[in-house]
Chain A
Amino acid sequence: MTEPVLSLSGVRKSFGALKVTDGVSLDVAAGELHALIGPNGAGKTTLVHQISGMLRPDAGSIHFRGSDITGFSPERRSRAGLARTFQITSTIPSLSVLENVALGVQARGPSPLALLRHAASDESLNGPARAAIEAVGLAERADVLAGWLSHGEKRALEIAMALTLEPAAILLDEPLAGVGREEGERLIALLKSLKGRYAMLLVEHDMEAVFALADRVTVLVYGRVIASGDPASVRADPAVREAYLGEEG
Protein backbone atom coordinates (compact mmCIF):
# COMPACT_ATOMS: atom_id res chain seq x y z
CA MET A 1 0.00 0.00 0.00
CA THR A 2 1.30 3.45 -0.86
CA GLU A 3 1.79 5.94 1.91
CA PRO A 4 -1.36 7.92 2.70
CA VAL A 5 -1.40 11.65 1.94
CA LEU A 6 -2.78 12.52 5.34
CA SER A 7 -2.48 10.39 8.40
CA LEU A 8 -3.45 10.90 12.03
CA SER A 9 -2.20 8.69 14.79
CA GLY A 10 -3.40 8.70 18.37
CA VAL A 11 -4.58 12.32 18.26
CA ARG A 12 -5.95 13.50 21.61
CA LYS A 13 -7.44 16.78 22.70
CA SER A 14 -9.25 17.69 25.90
CA PHE A 15 -11.05 20.84 26.92
CA GLY A 16 -10.82 20.59 30.69
CA ALA A 17 -12.23 17.22 31.69
CA LEU A 18 -13.98 16.77 28.36
CA LYS A 19 -12.13 14.50 25.95
CA VAL A 20 -13.14 15.92 22.58
CA THR A 21 -10.68 13.86 20.60
CA ASP A 22 -9.83 10.56 22.22
CA GLY A 23 -7.01 8.81 20.42
CA VAL A 24 -8.15 9.20 16.85
CA SER A 25 -6.15 7.49 14.12
CA LEU A 26 -7.21 7.68 10.51
CA ASP A 27 -5.69 8.25 7.10
CA VAL A 28 -6.65 9.52 3.70
CA ALA A 29 -5.01 7.99 0.62
CA ALA A 30 -4.22 9.91 -2.56
CA GLY A 31 -7.40 10.51 -4.52
CA GLU A 32 -9.55 8.98 -1.81
CA LEU A 33 -12.70 10.59 -0.43
CA HIS A 34 -12.81 9.67 3.21
CA ALA A 35 -15.98 10.66 5.04
CA LEU A 36 -16.03 11.41 8.74
CA ILE A 37 -19.49 11.11 10.28
CA GLY A 38 -20.83 11.16 13.78
CA PRO A 39 -23.65 12.61 15.86
CA ASN A 40 -23.61 16.21 17.06
CA GLY A 41 -20.89 16.81 19.60
CA ALA A 42 -18.82 13.88 18.38
CA GLY A 43 -15.84 16.22 17.94
CA LYS A 44 -15.69 16.27 14.14
CA THR A 45 -15.05 19.98 13.73
CA THR A 46 -12.54 19.96 16.59
CA LEU A 47 -10.69 17.25 14.73
CA VAL A 48 -10.71 19.25 11.50
CA HIS A 49 -9.37 22.25 13.43
CA GLN A 50 -6.51 20.11 14.66
CA ILE A 51 -5.72 18.85 11.18
CA SER A 52 -5.77 22.36 9.73
CA GLY A 53 -3.70 23.69 12.63
CA MET A 54 -6.21 26.01 14.26
CA LEU A 55 -6.03 23.88 17.39
CA ARG A 56 -3.02 21.97 18.62
CA PRO A 57 -3.55 18.36 19.75
CA ASP A 58 -2.51 17.45 23.31
CA ALA A 59 -0.97 14.21 22.08
CA GLY A 60 -0.53 12.18 18.93
CA SER A 61 0.80 13.19 15.56
CA ILE A 62 -0.41 14.34 12.16
CA HIS A 63 1.57 13.48 9.07
CA PHE A 64 1.01 15.09 5.71
CA ARG A 65 2.81 14.01 2.54
CA GLY A 66 5.38 12.16 4.60
CA SER A 67 6.33 14.90 7.04
CA ASP A 68 5.19 15.55 10.58
CA ILE A 69 3.07 18.72 10.53
CA THR A 70 1.75 18.46 14.11
CA GLY A 71 3.59 21.65 15.11
CA PHE A 72 2.93 23.62 11.92
CA SER A 73 0.96 26.88 11.95
CA PRO A 74 -2.23 26.95 9.85
CA GLU A 75 -0.66 29.13 7.16
CA ARG A 76 2.30 26.78 6.88
CA ARG A 77 -0.01 23.76 6.48
CA SER A 78 -1.89 25.63 3.81
CA ARG A 79 1.31 26.40 1.94
CA ALA A 80 2.28 22.75 2.21
CA GLY A 81 -0.88 21.89 0.27
CA LEU A 82 -3.51 21.19 2.90
CA ALA A 83 -6.64 23.23 2.16
CA ARG A 84 -9.88 23.45 4.09
CA THR A 85 -13.40 24.80 4.01
CA PHE A 86 -15.43 25.84 7.03
CA GLN A 87 -18.67 24.65 8.56
CA ILE A 88 -19.73 28.27 8.81
CA THR A 89 -18.74 29.65 5.42
CA SER A 90 -15.68 31.81 5.60
CA THR A 91 -15.13 34.25 2.77
CA ILE A 92 -14.26 37.94 2.45
CA PRO A 93 -17.71 39.52 2.00
CA SER A 94 -16.63 42.86 0.52
CA LEU A 95 -14.38 41.32 -2.10
CA SER A 96 -15.80 39.93 -5.33
CA VAL A 97 -15.90 36.21 -6.00
CA LEU A 98 -12.96 36.63 -8.36
CA GLU A 99 -10.96 38.59 -5.77
CA ASN A 100 -11.69 36.01 -3.08
CA VAL A 101 -10.43 33.19 -5.25
CA ALA A 102 -7.44 35.23 -6.42
CA LEU A 103 -6.26 35.35 -2.79
CA GLY A 104 -5.37 31.68 -3.03
CA VAL A 105 -3.62 32.09 -6.37
CA GLN A 106 -1.66 34.94 -4.85
CA ALA A 107 -0.68 32.84 -1.84
CA ARG A 108 0.79 30.12 -4.05
CA GLY A 109 2.44 32.32 -6.66
CA PRO A 110 5.64 34.37 -6.61
CA SER A 111 5.83 37.62 -4.58
CA PRO A 112 2.53 37.09 -2.77
CA LEU A 113 2.92 40.37 -0.85
CA ALA A 114 4.16 42.71 -3.60
CA LEU A 115 3.59 46.20 -2.19
CA LEU A 116 3.21 48.20 -5.36
CA ARG A 117 1.81 45.73 -7.85
CA HIS A 118 -1.81 46.41 -8.79
CA ALA A 119 -3.80 43.34 -7.86
CA ALA A 120 -7.19 43.81 -9.51
CA SER A 121 -5.83 43.97 -13.06
CA ASP A 122 -3.27 41.19 -12.62
CA GLU A 123 -3.98 38.41 -15.12
CA SER A 124 -1.48 36.08 -13.44
CA LEU A 125 -3.90 36.14 -10.50
CA ASN A 126 -7.21 36.44 -12.33
CA GLY A 127 -6.53 33.74 -14.93
CA PRO A 128 -6.11 30.79 -12.56
CA ALA A 129 -8.82 32.24 -10.32
CA ARG A 130 -11.31 32.24 -13.22
CA ALA A 131 -10.41 28.64 -14.00
CA ALA A 132 -11.19 27.63 -10.42
CA ILE A 133 -14.43 29.61 -10.45
CA GLU A 134 -15.48 27.85 -13.62
CA ALA A 135 -14.60 24.48 -12.11
CA VAL A 136 -17.11 25.05 -9.31
CA GLY A 137 -19.76 26.52 -11.61
CA LEU A 138 -19.69 30.14 -10.41
CA ALA A 139 -18.42 31.68 -13.68
CA GLU A 140 -21.44 33.94 -14.05
CA ARG A 141 -21.07 35.25 -10.51
CA ALA A 142 -17.37 36.14 -10.75
CA ASP A 143 -17.86 39.89 -10.23
CA VAL A 144 -20.48 39.67 -7.49
CA LEU A 145 -19.37 40.56 -3.98
CA ALA A 146 -18.99 37.38 -1.93
CA GLY A 147 -21.32 38.79 0.74
CA TRP A 148 -24.18 38.71 -1.75
CA LEU A 149 -23.93 35.05 -2.71
CA SER A 150 -26.49 32.48 -1.68
CA HIS A 151 -25.44 30.01 0.95
CA GLY A 152 -24.76 27.24 -1.55
CA GLU A 153 -22.79 29.59 -3.78
CA LYS A 154 -20.63 30.57 -0.81
CA ARG A 155 -19.92 26.88 -0.23
CA ALA A 156 -18.89 26.52 -3.86
CA LEU A 157 -16.77 29.66 -3.54
CA GLU A 158 -14.96 28.17 -0.57
CA ILE A 159 -14.22 25.07 -2.58
CA ALA A 160 -12.87 27.22 -5.43
CA MET A 161 -10.67 29.02 -2.90
CA ALA A 162 -9.36 25.67 -1.70
CA LEU A 163 -8.64 24.53 -5.27
CA THR A 164 -6.43 27.54 -6.04
CA LEU A 165 -4.06 26.43 -3.30
CA GLU A 166 -3.16 23.46 -5.54
CA PRO A 167 -3.77 21.25 -2.55
CA ALA A 168 -2.80 17.64 -2.11
CA ALA A 169 -5.64 17.24 0.36
CA ILE A 170 -8.83 19.18 1.10
CA LEU A 171 -10.67 19.16 4.42
CA LEU A 172 -14.38 19.77 3.85
CA ASP A 173 -16.20 20.70 7.04
CA GLU A 174 -19.90 20.05 6.43
CA PRO A 175 -20.05 21.58 2.96
CA LEU A 176 -23.75 20.75 2.69
CA ALA A 177 -24.88 22.17 6.03
CA GLY A 178 -27.70 24.65 5.69
CA VAL A 179 -27.84 24.34 1.92
CA GLY A 180 -31.14 23.82 0.13
CA ARG A 181 -31.88 20.64 -1.81
CA GLU A 182 -31.23 21.91 -5.27
CA GLU A 183 -27.99 23.61 -4.35
CA GLY A 184 -27.03 20.56 -2.30
CA GLU A 185 -27.36 18.35 -5.34
CA ARG A 186 -25.21 20.72 -7.32
CA LEU A 187 -22.56 20.64 -4.58
CA ILE A 188 -22.61 16.85 -4.47
CA ALA A 189 -22.09 16.79 -8.23
CA LEU A 190 -19.20 19.23 -7.77
CA LEU A 191 -17.56 17.07 -5.11
CA LYS A 192 -18.02 14.04 -7.37
CA SER A 193 -16.25 15.86 -10.18
CA LEU A 194 -13.29 16.55 -7.88
CA LYS A 195 -13.14 12.97 -6.65
CA GLY A 196 -9.98 11.10 -7.54
CA ARG A 197 -8.00 14.29 -8.09
CA TYR A 198 -7.52 15.26 -4.46
CA ALA A 199 -7.37 13.41 -1.20
CA MET A 200 -10.48 14.64 0.60
CA LEU A 201 -11.65 14.35 4.17
CA LEU A 202 -15.36 15.08 4.19
CA VAL A 203 -17.11 15.83 7.45
CA GLU A 204 -20.81 15.60 6.78
CA HIS A 205 -24.20 15.11 8.37
CA ASP A 206 -26.08 14.31 5.20
CA MET A 207 -26.02 10.50 5.08
CA GLU A 208 -27.28 10.28 1.56
CA ALA A 209 -24.41 12.45 0.38
CA VAL A 210 -21.86 10.54 2.40
CA PHE A 211 -22.85 7.15 1.06
CA ALA A 212 -23.05 8.53 -2.48
CA LEU A 213 -19.58 10.06 -2.36
CA ALA A 214 -17.32 8.29 0.09
CA ASP A 215 -14.78 5.60 -0.65
CA ARG A 216 -14.36 5.03 3.05
CA VAL A 217 -16.35 6.09 6.10
CA THR A 218 -15.14 6.61 9.64
CA VAL A 219 -17.62 7.04 12.47
CA LEU A 220 -16.72 9.27 15.39
CA VAL A 221 -18.69 9.13 18.65
CA TYR A 222 -17.62 11.11 21.74
CA GLY A 223 -14.24 11.76 20.20
CA ARG A 224 -13.53 8.10 19.51
CA VAL A 225 -13.53 6.11 16.27
CA ILE A 226 -16.15 3.37 16.65
CA ALA A 227 -16.07 2.07 13.10
CA SER A 228 -14.18 2.55 9.88
CA GLY A 229 -14.43 0.88 6.50
CA ASP A 230 -16.22 0.92 3.18
CA PRO A 231 -19.68 2.52 3.19
CA ALA A 232 -21.61 -0.74 2.98
CA SER A 233 -19.94 -2.41 5.96
CA VAL A 234 -20.14 0.73 8.07
CA ARG A 235 -23.82 1.02 7.30
CA ALA A 236 -24.26 -2.57 8.42
CA ASP A 237 -22.21 -2.21 11.61
CA PRO A 238 -24.55 -2.70 14.59
CA ALA A 239 -22.58 -0.31 16.85
CA VAL A 240 -22.93 2.41 14.25
CA ARG A 241 -26.62 1.76 13.80
CA GLU A 242 -27.14 2.10 17.49
CA ALA A 243 -24.98 5.15 18.03
CA TYR A 244 -25.84 7.11 15.01
CA LEU A 245 -27.78 5.79 12.10
CA GLY A 246 -30.58 4.60 14.34
CA GLU A 247 -31.52 8.09 15.36
CA GLU A 248 -31.57 9.15 11.72
CA GLY A 249 -34.15 6.43 11.00
Chain B
Amino acid sequence: MSATPALPDAAPGEPQAFALPARKRRPLIAIILFLALAAVPLVVSLGLPAHWLTLVTRAMIFAIAALSLDLILGVGGLVSFGHAAFIGIGAYVTGIMITEGRTEALLILPVIFVLCGLFAAVTGAVSLRTKGVAFIMITLAFGQMAFFLAQALSAYGGDDGLTLSDRSTLLGFKPFASRTSFYYVVLAALAGCYLLISVIVASRFGRILRAARENATRVTVTGFDVSRIRLIAYVISGMIAGLSGFLLANQTEFVSPAYMSWARSGELIFMVVLGGVGSLHGAIIGALAFLFAEDALSRLTEHWKVIFGPMIVLFVLFTRGGLVGIIGRLGRRHD
Protein backbone atom coordinates (compact mmCIF):
# COMPACT_ATOMS: atom_id res chain seq x y z
CA MET B 1 0.00 0.00 0.00
CA SER B 2 2.93 2.34 -0.43
CA ALA B 3 3.02 5.05 -3.04
CA THR B 4 5.91 3.42 -4.83
CA PRO B 5 4.93 0.82 -7.37
CA ALA B 6 5.21 -2.74 -6.15
CA LEU B 7 8.07 -4.69 -7.64
CA PRO B 8 7.54 -8.32 -8.52
CA ASP B 9 7.63 -10.65 -5.53
CA ALA B 10 7.34 -7.75 -3.11
CA ALA B 11 7.02 -8.72 0.52
CA PRO B 12 3.42 -9.06 1.66
CA GLY B 13 3.83 -6.02 3.88
CA GLU B 14 1.15 -4.83 6.23
CA PRO B 15 -2.18 -6.60 5.95
CA GLN B 16 -4.46 -4.77 3.58
CA ALA B 17 -6.97 -3.67 6.15
CA PHE B 18 -8.83 -1.41 3.77
CA ALA B 19 -8.86 -3.64 0.71
CA LEU B 20 -12.47 -4.75 0.94
CA PRO B 21 -14.21 -1.38 1.41
CA ALA B 22 -12.11 0.10 -1.41
CA ARG B 23 -13.22 -2.71 -3.70
CA LYS B 24 -16.86 -1.88 -3.04
CA ARG B 25 -16.36 1.86 -3.43
CA ARG B 26 -14.73 1.46 -6.82
CA PRO B 27 -17.76 1.32 -9.18
CA LEU B 28 -19.24 4.43 -7.54
CA ILE B 29 -16.10 6.53 -8.05
CA ALA B 30 -15.83 5.31 -11.64
CA ILE B 31 -19.47 6.15 -12.40
CA ILE B 32 -19.12 9.66 -10.95
CA LEU B 33 -15.89 10.12 -12.89
CA PHE B 34 -17.41 9.12 -16.23
CA LEU B 35 -20.57 11.19 -15.66
CA ALA B 36 -18.40 14.22 -14.91
CA LEU B 37 -16.36 13.61 -18.07
CA ALA B 38 -19.52 13.22 -20.15
CA ALA B 39 -20.76 16.58 -18.85
CA VAL B 40 -17.63 18.53 -19.80
CA PRO B 41 -18.78 19.52 -23.34
CA LEU B 42 -22.08 20.74 -21.86
CA VAL B 43 -20.26 22.86 -19.29
CA VAL B 44 -18.00 24.22 -22.01
CA SER B 45 -21.03 25.16 -24.12
CA LEU B 46 -22.37 27.02 -21.07
CA GLY B 47 -19.35 29.24 -20.94
CA LEU B 48 -16.22 27.43 -19.74
CA PRO B 49 -13.29 28.33 -22.03
CA ALA B 50 -13.18 26.04 -25.06
CA HIS B 51 -9.56 25.31 -24.23
CA TRP B 52 -10.89 22.96 -21.56
CA LEU B 53 -12.39 20.63 -24.11
CA THR B 54 -8.98 20.20 -25.77
CA LEU B 55 -7.26 19.77 -22.45
CA VAL B 56 -9.66 17.13 -21.14
CA THR B 57 -9.56 15.29 -24.48
CA ARG B 58 -5.77 15.16 -24.25
CA ALA B 59 -5.96 14.06 -20.63
CA MET B 60 -8.35 11.25 -21.50
CA ILE B 61 -6.03 10.09 -24.29
CA PHE B 62 -3.20 9.84 -21.77
CA ALA B 63 -5.63 8.22 -19.34
CA ILE B 64 -6.04 5.36 -21.82
CA ALA B 65 -2.27 4.89 -21.90
CA ALA B 66 -2.01 5.17 -18.11
CA LEU B 67 -4.83 2.66 -17.73
CA SER B 68 -3.03 0.19 -19.97
CA LEU B 69 0.14 0.72 -17.95
CA ASP B 70 -1.78 0.13 -14.72
CA LEU B 71 -2.71 -3.33 -15.97
CA ILE B 72 0.92 -4.43 -16.02
CA LEU B 73 2.33 -2.07 -13.37
CA GLY B 74 -0.44 -1.94 -10.80
CA VAL B 75 -2.09 -5.30 -11.32
CA GLY B 76 0.86 -7.29 -12.62
CA GLY B 77 3.60 -5.56 -10.61
CA LEU B 78 5.80 -4.97 -13.66
CA VAL B 79 7.29 -1.49 -13.77
CA SER B 80 7.66 -0.87 -17.49
CA PHE B 81 9.71 2.21 -18.27
CA GLY B 82 9.18 1.97 -22.01
CA HIS B 83 5.46 2.30 -22.30
CA ALA B 84 5.57 5.49 -24.36
CA ALA B 85 6.96 3.41 -27.23
CA PHE B 86 3.48 1.96 -27.76
CA ILE B 87 1.93 5.43 -27.89
CA GLY B 88 4.63 6.33 -30.39
CA ILE B 89 4.01 3.27 -32.57
CA GLY B 90 0.28 4.01 -32.56
CA ALA B 91 0.88 7.65 -33.43
CA TYR B 92 3.44 6.92 -36.16
CA VAL B 93 1.32 4.25 -37.83
CA THR B 94 -1.55 6.76 -37.87
CA GLY B 95 0.68 9.56 -39.18
CA ILE B 96 2.32 7.46 -41.87
CA MET B 97 -0.91 5.88 -43.09
CA ILE B 98 -2.68 9.23 -43.26
CA THR B 99 0.30 10.70 -45.13
CA GLU B 100 0.00 7.81 -47.57
CA GLY B 101 -3.68 8.59 -48.05
CA ARG B 102 -5.15 5.86 -45.86
CA THR B 103 -7.34 7.72 -43.39
CA GLU B 104 -9.82 4.92 -42.55
CA ALA B 105 -9.60 4.15 -38.84
CA LEU B 106 -10.75 0.57 -39.38
CA LEU B 107 -7.68 0.14 -41.55
CA ILE B 108 -5.24 1.99 -39.29
CA LEU B 109 -6.29 0.44 -35.97
CA PRO B 110 -5.71 -3.20 -36.94
CA VAL B 111 -2.22 -2.27 -38.15
CA ILE B 112 -1.57 -0.53 -34.83
CA PHE B 113 -2.82 -3.49 -32.80
CA VAL B 114 -0.73 -5.97 -34.79
CA LEU B 115 2.46 -3.87 -34.62
CA CYS B 116 2.07 -2.96 -30.94
CA GLY B 117 1.21 -6.57 -30.14
CA LEU B 118 4.29 -7.79 -31.99
CA PHE B 119 6.56 -5.19 -30.42
CA ALA B 120 5.20 -6.13 -26.99
CA ALA B 121 5.55 -9.84 -27.64
CA VAL B 122 9.17 -9.57 -28.77
CA THR B 123 10.38 -7.02 -26.21
CA GLY B 124 8.28 -8.62 -23.47
CA ALA B 125 9.67 -12.08 -24.14
CA VAL B 126 13.16 -10.67 -23.53
CA SER B 127 12.38 -8.26 -20.67
CA LEU B 128 10.26 -10.70 -18.68
CA ARG B 129 13.29 -12.90 -18.19
CA THR B 130 14.41 -10.28 -15.69
CA LYS B 131 12.87 -8.82 -12.57
CA GLY B 132 12.86 -5.60 -10.60
CA VAL B 133 15.39 -2.97 -11.62
CA ALA B 134 16.71 -5.04 -14.52
CA PHE B 135 13.20 -5.20 -15.94
CA ILE B 136 12.86 -1.43 -15.66
CA MET B 137 16.18 -0.91 -17.45
CA ILE B 138 15.43 -3.34 -20.27
CA THR B 139 12.01 -1.85 -20.97
CA LEU B 140 13.67 1.57 -20.93
CA ALA B 141 16.22 0.35 -23.46
CA PHE B 142 13.54 -0.99 -25.79
CA GLY B 143 11.62 2.27 -25.45
CA GLN B 144 14.73 4.21 -26.46
CA MET B 145 15.22 1.89 -29.42
CA ALA B 146 11.77 2.83 -30.68
CA PHE B 147 12.60 6.51 -30.05
CA PHE B 148 15.79 6.39 -32.11
CA LEU B 149 14.05 4.43 -34.84
CA ALA B 150 11.45 7.20 -35.12
CA GLN B 151 14.23 9.81 -35.25
CA ALA B 152 15.77 7.92 -38.16
CA LEU B 153 12.54 7.87 -40.19
CA SER B 154 13.71 10.68 -42.46
CA ALA B 155 10.99 10.02 -45.04
CA TYR B 156 8.45 10.88 -42.34
CA GLY B 157 10.01 13.91 -40.74
CA GLY B 158 12.80 12.27 -38.75
CA ASP B 159 13.76 14.42 -35.80
CA ASP B 160 11.33 17.20 -36.74
CA GLY B 161 8.28 15.01 -36.65
CA LEU B 162 5.49 14.65 -39.15
CA THR B 163 2.55 16.99 -39.64
CA LEU B 164 -0.64 15.21 -40.62
CA SER B 165 -2.49 16.50 -43.68
CA ASP B 166 -5.82 15.30 -42.34
CA ARG B 167 -7.49 13.42 -39.50
CA SER B 168 -8.71 9.83 -39.69
CA THR B 169 -12.13 8.89 -40.98
CA LEU B 170 -14.48 6.14 -39.89
CA LEU B 171 -16.39 4.40 -42.69
CA GLY B 172 -16.41 7.65 -44.63
CA PHE B 173 -17.67 9.73 -41.70
CA LYS B 174 -15.52 12.22 -39.83
CA PRO B 175 -16.13 11.66 -36.12
CA PHE B 176 -12.57 12.77 -35.35
CA ALA B 177 -12.92 16.12 -37.09
CA SER B 178 -15.07 18.31 -34.83
CA ARG B 179 -13.85 19.06 -31.36
CA THR B 180 -16.98 17.89 -29.57
CA SER B 181 -17.50 14.68 -31.50
CA PHE B 182 -13.81 13.84 -31.11
CA TYR B 183 -14.24 14.44 -27.39
CA TYR B 184 -16.99 11.84 -27.23
CA VAL B 185 -15.04 9.40 -29.38
CA VAL B 186 -12.14 9.62 -26.92
CA LEU B 187 -14.49 9.32 -23.95
CA ALA B 188 -16.09 6.23 -25.47
CA ALA B 189 -12.64 4.73 -26.12
CA LEU B 190 -11.62 5.45 -22.53
CA ALA B 191 -14.82 3.93 -21.14
CA GLY B 192 -14.39 0.90 -23.40
CA CYS B 193 -10.78 0.39 -22.28
CA TYR B 194 -11.76 0.84 -18.65
CA LEU B 195 -14.51 -1.77 -18.93
CA LEU B 196 -12.29 -4.18 -20.86
CA ILE B 197 -9.43 -3.92 -18.37
CA SER B 198 -11.82 -4.17 -15.40
CA VAL B 199 -13.27 -7.36 -16.85
CA ILE B 200 -9.77 -8.73 -17.47
CA VAL B 201 -8.67 -7.91 -13.91
CA ALA B 202 -11.73 -9.67 -12.46
CA SER B 203 -11.30 -12.69 -14.73
CA ARG B 204 -9.51 -15.95 -14.09
CA PHE B 205 -6.54 -14.54 -15.96
CA GLY B 206 -6.59 -11.33 -13.94
CA ARG B 207 -6.67 -13.20 -10.66
CA ILE B 208 -3.56 -15.14 -11.61
CA LEU B 209 -1.83 -11.96 -12.78
CA ARG B 210 -2.56 -10.28 -9.43
CA ALA B 211 -1.59 -13.36 -7.47
CA ALA B 212 1.73 -13.57 -9.34
CA ARG B 213 2.55 -9.99 -8.34
CA GLU B 214 2.33 -10.95 -4.70
CA ASN B 215 3.76 -14.43 -4.81
CA ALA B 216 5.07 -15.71 -8.13
CA THR B 217 6.43 -18.88 -6.53
CA ARG B 218 3.04 -19.90 -5.22
CA VAL B 219 1.44 -19.29 -8.61
CA THR B 220 4.17 -21.36 -10.26
CA VAL B 221 3.79 -24.36 -7.98
CA THR B 222 0.05 -24.15 -8.48
CA GLY B 223 0.79 -25.04 -12.09
CA PHE B 224 0.83 -21.72 -13.95
CA ASP B 225 3.50 -20.40 -16.26
CA VAL B 226 4.00 -16.96 -14.71
CA SER B 227 6.14 -15.58 -17.55
CA ARG B 228 3.52 -16.49 -20.11
CA ILE B 229 0.75 -14.83 -18.10
CA ARG B 230 2.80 -11.66 -17.72
CA LEU B 231 3.64 -11.68 -21.43
CA ILE B 232 -0.06 -11.89 -22.35
CA ALA B 233 -0.78 -8.94 -20.05
CA TYR B 234 2.13 -7.02 -21.56
CA VAL B 235 0.82 -7.57 -25.09
CA ILE B 236 -2.73 -6.50 -24.17
CA SER B 237 -1.34 -3.46 -22.42
CA GLY B 238 0.82 -2.49 -25.41
CA MET B 239 -2.09 -2.77 -27.82
CA ILE B 240 -4.29 -0.51 -25.69
CA ALA B 241 -1.48 2.04 -25.40
CA GLY B 242 -1.27 1.91 -29.21
CA LEU B 243 -4.90 3.03 -29.35
CA SER B 244 -4.05 6.10 -27.30
CA GLY B 245 -1.28 6.85 -29.81
CA PHE B 246 -3.85 6.75 -32.62
CA LEU B 247 -6.06 9.25 -30.77
CA LEU B 248 -3.12 11.48 -29.85
CA ALA B 249 -1.97 11.72 -33.48
CA ASN B 250 -5.51 12.64 -34.49
CA GLN B 251 -5.80 15.30 -31.84
CA THR B 252 -2.47 17.01 -32.40
CA GLU B 253 -2.36 16.29 -36.17
CA PHE B 254 1.33 15.87 -35.60
CA VAL B 255 3.63 13.05 -34.54
CA SER B 256 7.21 13.27 -33.38
CA PRO B 257 9.83 11.06 -31.72
CA ALA B 258 9.18 12.98 -28.48
CA TYR B 259 5.98 10.94 -28.11
CA MET B 260 8.09 7.97 -27.15
CA SER B 261 10.87 9.59 -25.18
CA TRP B 262 11.79 7.98 -21.88
CA ALA B 263 10.54 11.09 -20.11
CA ARG B 264 7.07 10.41 -21.47
CA SER B 265 7.27 6.84 -20.15
CA GLY B 266 8.21 8.27 -16.77
CA GLU B 267 5.23 10.61 -16.89
CA LEU B 268 2.93 7.67 -17.53
CA ILE B 269 4.32 5.88 -14.48
CA PHE B 270 3.81 9.01 -12.44
CA MET B 271 0.20 9.33 -13.61
CA VAL B 272 -0.47 5.81 -12.38
CA VAL B 273 1.31 6.42 -9.07
CA LEU B 274 -0.37 9.80 -8.66
CA GLY B 275 -3.82 8.26 -9.08
CA GLY B 276 -3.23 5.13 -7.06
CA VAL B 277 -1.50 1.99 -8.31
CA GLY B 278 -3.64 -0.94 -9.40
CA SER B 279 -7.06 0.63 -8.95
CA LEU B 280 -7.67 1.38 -12.67
CA HIS B 281 -9.86 4.43 -12.08
CA GLY B 282 -6.85 5.81 -10.21
CA ALA B 283 -4.89 5.79 -13.48
CA ILE B 284 -7.61 7.91 -15.10
CA ILE B 285 -7.72 10.34 -12.16
CA GLY B 286 -3.92 10.46 -12.16
CA ALA B 287 -3.74 11.30 -15.86
CA LEU B 288 -6.37 14.03 -15.50
CA ALA B 289 -4.64 15.52 -12.45
CA PHE B 290 -1.24 15.37 -14.15
CA LEU B 291 -2.37 17.17 -17.29
CA PHE B 292 -4.38 19.75 -15.34
CA ALA B 293 -1.40 20.50 -13.12
CA GLU B 294 0.90 20.69 -16.12
CA ASP B 295 -1.51 23.07 -17.86
CA ALA B 296 -2.05 25.30 -14.83
CA LEU B 297 1.64 25.53 -13.94
CA SER B 298 2.74 26.20 -17.51
CA ARG B 299 0.43 29.24 -17.54
CA LEU B 300 2.02 30.59 -14.39
CA THR B 301 5.61 30.51 -15.58
CA GLU B 302 7.66 29.11 -18.39
CA HIS B 303 9.88 27.48 -15.79
CA TRP B 304 6.94 25.39 -14.57
CA LYS B 305 8.97 22.19 -14.53
CA VAL B 306 11.00 23.62 -11.65
CA ILE B 307 7.81 23.66 -9.60
CA PHE B 308 6.32 20.48 -11.02
CA GLY B 309 9.37 18.32 -10.34
CA PRO B 310 9.54 18.95 -6.60
CA MET B 311 5.74 18.62 -6.40
CA ILE B 312 6.03 15.12 -7.83
CA VAL B 313 8.75 14.21 -5.35
CA LEU B 314 6.76 15.54 -2.39
CA PHE B 315 3.64 13.81 -3.56
CA VAL B 316 5.32 10.44 -3.83
CA LEU B 317 6.97 10.91 -0.44
CA PHE B 318 3.91 12.00 1.49
CA THR B 319 0.91 10.23 0.04
CA ARG B 320 -0.08 6.62 0.33
CA GLY B 321 -2.15 4.97 -2.36
CA GLY B 322 -2.28 8.09 -4.54
CA LEU B 323 -5.32 10.30 -5.08
CA VAL B 324 -7.63 7.31 -4.90
CA GLY B 325 -6.18 6.51 -1.48
CA ILE B 326 -6.87 10.07 -0.36
CA ILE B 327 -10.43 9.91 -1.71
CA GLY B 328 -10.89 6.58 0.06
CA ARG B 329 -9.65 8.01 3.38
CA LEU B 330 -11.91 11.06 3.06
CA GLY B 331 -14.80 8.74 2.28
CA ARG B 332 -14.15 6.65 5.37
CA ARG B 333 -14.06 9.72 7.57
CA HIS B 334 -17.67 10.40 6.62
CA ASP B 335 -18.83 6.81 7.12
Q: Which residues of A contact B (CB under 8 A)?
A: 52, 54, 73-76, 78-79, 83-84, 86, 90-95, 99, 102-104, 106-108, 111-120, 122, 125, 145, 147-148, 161, 165
Contact = CB atoms under 8 A, between A and B. Distances in A.
A102 B208 CA distance: 10
A204 B42 CA distance: 69
B223 A108 contact: yes
Contacts of A75: 220-226
B208 A103 contact: yes
Given A84-B221, A90-B215, A119 B16 contact: no
A106 B204 contact: yes
Contacts of A83: 221
Contact of A113 (B202, B222, B229): B229
Interface string B191-232: 000000001101111111011001101111111111001001
Contact of A92 (B15, B199, B218, B220): B218
Interface in B215-270: 215, 217-226, 229, 232
7 contacts: A54-B217, A75-B223, A92-B218, A113-B224, A115-B204, A117-B203, A125-B204
A29 to B, nearest CB: 23
B12 interface: yes
B39 interface: no
Contacts of B220: 74-75, 78
A99 B207 contact: yes
A76 B217 CA distance: 13
How big is the B interface, by class? 20 to 34
Contacts of B214: 92-95
Contacts of A103: 207-208, 211, 218-219, 222
A54 B222 CA distance: 13
Chain B interface SS verdict (over half)? helix
A122 B203 CA distance: 10
A91 B222 contact: no
A74 B221 contact: yes
Most B C-beta atoms less than 10 A away, residue of A104, A106, A108, A120: A106
* 7 shortest interchain CB distances as A-B pairs: A78-B223, A107-B223, A93-B12, A79-B223, A147-B15, A92-B211, A90-B218
Contacts of A118: 199, 202-203
Contacts of A104: 222-223
Contacts of B15: 93, 145, 147-148
A113 B211 CA distance: 13
B20 to A, nearest CB: 8
Contact of A116 (B19, B199, B223): B199
Interface string B18-40: 01100000000000000000000
Nearest to A76: B223
B204 A114 contact: yes
Given A107-B223, A107-B224, A90 B202 contact: no
Contact of B211 (A74, A95, A148, A165): A95
A115 B225 contact: no
Nearest to B226: A75
Nearest to B229: A113
A73 B221 CA distance: 9
Contacts of B203: 114-119
Most B C-beta atoms less than 10 A away, residue of A54, A99, A115: A115
A90 B11 CA distance: 11
A31 B21 CA distance: 44
B232 A113 contact: yes
A115 B204 CA distance: 7
Nearest to A112: B204
Contacts of A112: 204, 208, 223-224
A165 B223 contact: yes
Contacts of A76: 223
Contacts of A111: 204
Most A C-beta atoms less than 10 A away, residue of B207, B222, B224, B225: B222
Contacts of A94: 12, 16, 19, 210, 214
Interface string B170-196: 000000000000000000000000000
Contacts of A120: 202
A93 B207 contact: no
B19 A145 contact: yes
Contacts of A84: 221
Contacts of A102: 207
Most B C-beta atoms less than 10 A away, residue of A74, A94, A118: A94
B23 to A, nearest CB: 10
A113 B226 CA distance: 11
Nearest to A147: B15
Most B C-beta atoms less than 10 A away, residue of A102, A114, A147: A147
A91 B223 contact: no
Given A76-B223, A112-B208, 4 more contacts: A95-B207, A103-B219, A113-B208, A114-B203
Nearest to A111: B204
Given A92-B214, A94-B16, A145-B15, A106 B221 contact: no
A69 to B, nearest CB: 13
A116 B199 CA distance: 6
B204 A122 contact: yes
Nearest to B218: A90
Contacts of A114: 203-205
Contacts of B219: 92, 103
